[in-house]
Amino acid sequence: MIRVCEPSLSDLEKKYVNEALENNWLSSIAPPVQLFEEAFAKRFGVRHAVAVNSGGSALFLALWTLGIRAGDEVIVPTFTMVATAGAVTQCGAIPVFVDAEPDTGNIDVTRIEEKITPRTKAVMPVHIYGHPCDMDPIREIARDYGLVIIEDAAESHGALYKGKPAGTLGDAGCFSFYANTGLCPSALPGVRF
Ligand SMILES: Cc1ncc(COP(=O)(O)O)c(C=O)c1O
pLDDT in tens, 20-78: 899 998 877 788 888 999 999 999 999 999 999 999 999 999 999 999 999 999 999 99
Ligand 1 in contact with 135 (CB < 6 A)? no
What is the C-alpha to C-alpha distance for residues 155 and 180, in angstroms, rounded to an integer?
8
Which of 59, 61, 82, 155 to mutate for ligand 1's pocket (most ligand atoms within 8 Å of CB)? 155
- The total number of residues shown for the chain amounts to 193
pLDDT at residue number 7? 73
The answer to whether residue 115 scores a pLDDT higher than 90 is: yes
- pLDDT (average), residues 177-181: 74
Q: Phi and psi at residue 162, in whole multiples of 5°?
A: 50, 45
pLDDT at residue number 2? 67
Ligand 1 in contact with 156 (CB < 6 A)? no
Q: Ligand 1 centroid vs 155 CA: distance in angstroms?
A: 7
What is the total count of domains within the chain? 2
Mean pLDDT taken over the chain: 90
pLDDT at residue number 13? 86
Tell whether 32 and 61 lie within a shared domain: no
Tell whether 83 and 63 lie within a shared domain: yes
Tell whether 129 and 77 lie within a shared domain: yes
pLDDT at residue number 191? 41
Neighbours of 53 (CB within 10 A): 8
Bigger pLDDT: 17 or 116? 116
Q: For ligand 1, what atom is nearest to the CA of residue 56?
A: 11
Tell whether 111 and 34 lie within a shared domain: no
pLDDT at residue number 177? 87
Q: In what order do the strands lie in the sheet with 172-174?
A: 94-98, 73-77, 120-123, 148-152, 172-174
State the DSSP H helix or E strand holding residue 36, giving kind and residue range, or none if neither. helix 31-44
The residue among 152, 156, 8, 7 whose CA lies nearest residue 74 is: 152
Task: Please state the separation of Cα 32 from the chain's center in Å.
Answer: 21
Tell whether 60 and 141 lie within a shared domain: yes
What is the C-alpha to C-alpha distance for residues 64 and 45, in angstroms, rounded to an integer?
23
3-state secondary structure of 151: strand
Q: Ligand 1 centroid vs 22 CA: distance in angstroms?
A: 30
pLDDT at residue number 16? 87
Q: What percent of the chain has pLDDT over 70?
A: 90
